[in-house]
Amino acid sequence: MIIFAAILAFYVAWNLGANDVANSMGTSVGSKALSLKQALLVAGILEFLGAVLFGKEVSSTLATEIVNPEMFINKPAVLITGMMVVMVAGALWVQVATLKGWPVSSSHAIVGAIAGFSWVAAGKSSVDWSNIGIISITWILTPVVSGIVASGFYACIKKWILQQNEPIKQLQEWIPWLSSALVGVFGFLVLPSVLAPAHLWLINHTGLNFPAHDLSVLVGAGAAVSITFFTWHKLKTLSSHSVAESSNSGEFESPMENVNFKIEKILGRFQVLSACFVAFAHGSNDVGNAIAPLAAINYIKNTGTVPLESFNLPFWVLVLGGLGIVAGLAVLGKRVITTVGEKIIELQPSAGFSAELATATTVLVASRLGLPVSTSHALVGGVVGVGIVRSLLEGKKQLEVSGATLRGILWAWVVTVPIAAGLSALIFTIVSRFI
């Protein structure tokens, strides 16, 4: 039983890796800050580390938040069957979306599948409809908020750096602020979890009882200063050679175009760092979508009871989820990465960095408020926001956003929950007749 459930969980994680990893790497590939092979390698390592080291929280609670576990206290075998059905239904829909290149939410697919099976198995009252309602609201708000943040951030970069007479000098002045924004947003998202073991070790071995956030601030400040000085060094080299290289850049390339190209390369370094942070955070949060049903099944098999609240996960479950994410990313990840990074709008590093920063900010604020959101929705919203504001700033009469690609993505978003719920209900009905 556990072996079969583990295979299903690996299948879910495989599809999650094939689809959701575009959240962290799609814009980096689209802007040419990373090649597709580099993106797959970097995302694979960081997604795995995030899933294995910090993937417990979402996994231990997802199995008890959508379905009311008290409805299954006297029939744990039904819950086991249902969780297996959830994995099958959720993974099937995410795989279809991946083959089409649609960046859908694996969170919504799993939530919809849990709701579908539990309704058939124990009635409408077994579903926590308040959580379903919250998910529906965040589905609408997430891309809107991310798009607003991305468009505002990109407008600042475009107006105060790229469109200035001396963009290199302007970038030098903005580097500390870009570094602080990067480390600040992603630091709050990742550092507290990453540094928690180090904080405990220091307290136990030094006797210094200091708040955990002090260590995060210290590490974050050091990272921001390091990024600033490293980028300043690169800009010094760029500035000293820009005039000579501009004169030899060719008949059809103006000096300003050459300088802006070099500035985009510098901003590409920021974008690579932002993509790495998003990949780590994504692995630590979204791996729960793949392994939460397996964790619930394992808990029932070991204790003979239904989990009523959060519970601890075995380490092997986290490793299984991490390996599945990496495998799916390696085999099919390029399809959705291409859609997000290349088929919505044409991206430069400045645009990709803005979209990724907006994605992380939106997810961070939602996490602080305890709201379930989709990183897929946030990133697509950020990319669209950048495309709209770029068209307006450059005076283009037609928006750069690809309407056909966007319509396909929106359609996939709308039908994810009902399709996953319907598949789960149908499969559970069929399976229950033979068990």
Q: Note the pLDDT tens digit of each residue in 283-318.
A: 766 777 778 888 888 888 888 888 777 667 788 888
* Closest of 275, 278, 272 to residue 190, by C-alpha: 278
Residue in this structure with the two tokens 């260590």, named with its chain if needed: 215
Contact 103, 409 (CB under 8 A): yes
The shares of helix, strand and coil residues in the chain, as percent rounded to the nearest 5, are 85, 0, 15
Contact 33, 268 (CB under 8 A): yes
**246 pLDDT band (50/70/90 cuts)?**
very low
Mean pLDDT lowest among 61-65, 199-203, 225-229, 233-237: 61-65
192 pLDDT more than 80: no
- Residue-wise pLDDT for 45-85, tens only, equals 887 887 777 666 555 556 566 777 778 888 888 888 999 99
What is the signed CA dihedral for 206, 209, 214, 216, rounded to 10 degrees? Answer: 60
**238 pLDDT band (50/70/90 cuts)?**
low
Average pLDDT over residues 218-231: 78
* Closest of 309, 318, 325 to residue 55, by C-alpha: 318
Average pLDDT over residues 19-39: 72
* Closest of 393, 364, 380, 388 to residue 151, by C-alpha: 388
Q: Share the mean pLDDT of the chain.
A: 78
For the whole model, what pTM was predicted?
A: 0.76
Average pLDDT over residues 381-396: 85
| 145 against 203, higher pLDDT | 145
The two structure tokens encoding residue 233 = 């060094």
- Residue-wise pLDDT for 399-421, tens only, equals 666 677 777 778 877 888 899 99
Residue in this structure with the two tokens 């849990």, named with its chain if needed: 114
Long-range contacts, 106-109 (Cβ 8 Å, 24+)? 106/12, 106/15, 106/16, 106/19, 106/20, 106/286, 106/289, 106/290, 107/135, 107/286, 107/289, 107/372, 107/374, 108/135, 108/139, 108/374, 108/413, 108/416, 108/417, 108/420, 109/289, 109/416, 109/417, 109/420
Q: How far apart are CA 78 and CA 373, in angstroms?
A: 29
Q: How far apart are CA 71 and CA 136, in angstroms?
A: 24
* Amino acid 252: pLDDT: 43
| 173 against 209, higher pLDDT | 173
Instruction: Calculate Rg over the CA atoms of the chain.
Output: 23
